[in-house]
Structure 1
Amino acid sequence: MGAAERKKWLLALFSALLVSLLLFLTSISGLNASYAFTSSWINKPTTIPTHGPQFPPSFAYYIYGGGGDKERMLRLLLAVYHPRNWYLLHLSSDASTLEREWLAAAVRSVPSIQAFENVEVIGKSMWLTNMGATNIAATLRAAAVLLKLDQGWDWFITLSASDYPLLTQDDLAHVFSSIKRDLNFIDHTSELGWKEQQRIQPIIVDPSIYLARKSQIFTATQKRPTPAAFKVFTGSPWVILSRSFLKFCLFGWDNLPRTILMYFNNAMFPQEGYFHSVICNSPEFRNTTVNNDLRYMIWDSPPKMEPHYLNVSDFDQMIQSGAAIARQFQKDDPVLTMIDEKILNRRHNRVVPGSWCSGRDSWFTDACGQWGDINSLKPGLQAKRFADSMTNYIDDLNSQSTQCK
């Protein structure tokens, strides 16, 4: 080993130890917000994300959580990180300022994130409630922020702190490279059933939209009729939406997105119907819907508010499912470590290695502490399972058997 190579190796070792020390310190202390990790030894990107149909797609992630979720959100971010993507992290208003500062500092401590500057933490947070309009308002705000940060990404993905990926970003981008980039993955139906009377017709007022504190929702004594000016669709609140459709929702050239938003502002669960109703009432976008949210979940029958918590006993089935994301998980459940070790090849407090990582991987050095071509991909075994699932979804789309019926 030459002197130059030895010096480079020692520098990488020192960098990894310093990052590990910082992450350890943040786990035992509150980490002041004024602490900024700006050391000059950080490698600068040798390539920048290149967008276009001849290059892999990129994703804009909106990751959110509440008080006590800062470590879960950091772990989730590291599990889905890639230099080509953008990330917006939102700790809701029930989290303390100290938690928000800890998360921002922990994000800045990751060498690749500091170098590529593609992760933002929301400073002025919103209340997030299970019912009412705050969640859909926060999601639309996140989409607008991510569009302002960069307009080169292709799909918008919503994740909560209790979600976790079942494949690498190389796997995800590889499979999405084979499909049209105007497709929207949104589980939907117009068969409202019991939801019509219990979730669509009740009139809800969410005071958290206009008050500085969290407040219980108000329910009117009377109900309203189901809309006749547009058809109501409902489904999973977890969506993967194209950039073109989100632009329509935010800057729509007709009044449809705003009309439907005004209606769902007083609905019990707007996130279960807003995007679904906009896309299925829009002639331009209704034929871009893949009727699946690409997630693995286990529900009661009839379904409750949330799916079952997943654990080690569910590992084999969720991996074989061909889904991209699973929910929901308890904090630090052992099954998350199994996913890290057996699927993502992710070490503690490190990002998932991909084709873009060019460093030496060991307990002391992080392979993703150095990088090469960030526009290259190296798919693994899960990509094949996910590709098989995607083929089935696209076949259903082409048969038009599941499009906004």
Structure 2
Amino acid sequence: MGYILKKDQQDLVNLAKDFAEKKVAPFVHELDQAKEPGQKLLDIYQEAVDMGFCGLEIPEEYGGLGQDYYTVAAVYEELAKVDAGVATAIAASGLGLKPVLQHGTDAQKKLYAEYLTGEKGSGFCAFCLTEANAGSDAAAGTTVAVKQGDEYVLNGTKCFITNGGVASVYTVFAITDKTKGVKGISAFIVERDRPGVSVGKEEDKMGIRLSNTTEVIFQDVHIPADHLIGQEGKGFIYAMQTLDLARPMVASLAVGIAQRAIDESVKYAKQRVTFGKPIIKHEVIAFKLADMDMKTEVARASIINFLNTYYAVPKRNYTREAAIAKCFAGDIAVQVALEAVQILGGFGYSREYPVEKLVRDAKIMQIYEGTNEVQRMVIAGFVANQ
């Protein structure tokens, strides 16, 4: 792999690989086909929390593992090789955490750490930004938080929220001043057990079925003023900063899917014999595998390029690099997974084999956390202003 890691970092990546192969893989097919994954999936989630995977980014002084994003990305890739749904659930907790780590108070960081390390609740959190009419255009949201004395009253509905039904705490974006547009959006910490918080139906998804996706409804939810993250009116900026940092992590999930597609293709191509030799010996298949490998390694390198930029020049705007990593890796995941289906032929099209699921899982990588069309708009803006 392209990540150059120290021994302790690699040990954690190996731990994730072992967890995915031994604790997740035996149940993936069953849970992917189930209408309601149920308790078995919750048991897997709990083990992920117990092993610290939801607290990878939390600094050690708050009880987390304090890992850098090179390690986090490599861990996510290993998890996504086995199941991108479980990897998405874990990564979504990191998404909800990021605004608190970047802009929260010490008390807020401690509160969030208690949830994600499993001291409180489920060990999972959720990032509540998307609404029915405010997906790619996040500024079009209608959820509001009205200041009343020393608290805010929150009303609104968020949709397509990863971990919405299993999270114990949410990072919620709401309008605090309707007259200011995007400058009137603020961010809040909202615990799941507050009166007025409820969860809507779980989405019946095409892929990443081992992740939980629901509506989250806030009806006259009273939030202490000290649950405001950072400053009023800065929520949209915080959300965009969070997504810039999270999109390369989505790319790492996409790379995991692509790598698994390559691995399954190679295994099959070595065994399948046509015209007297394994199909991997036929140039048309060998070159197809070479293209799949090149694209996947470049996608991985785009994540590393982002991280090099992020750590080398902390104050620099890295929106472009984040968009490139997410967009390229998302596209590659779909392309490589489709090629795997082609290599396996009829077996690739059958649900008894894993590669058709890779296609279903890969498709969301072009959609969530900013569609690839939006990423191209972002990149084009930077190109035009060079």
TM-score computed with the length of structure 1 as normaliser: 0.26
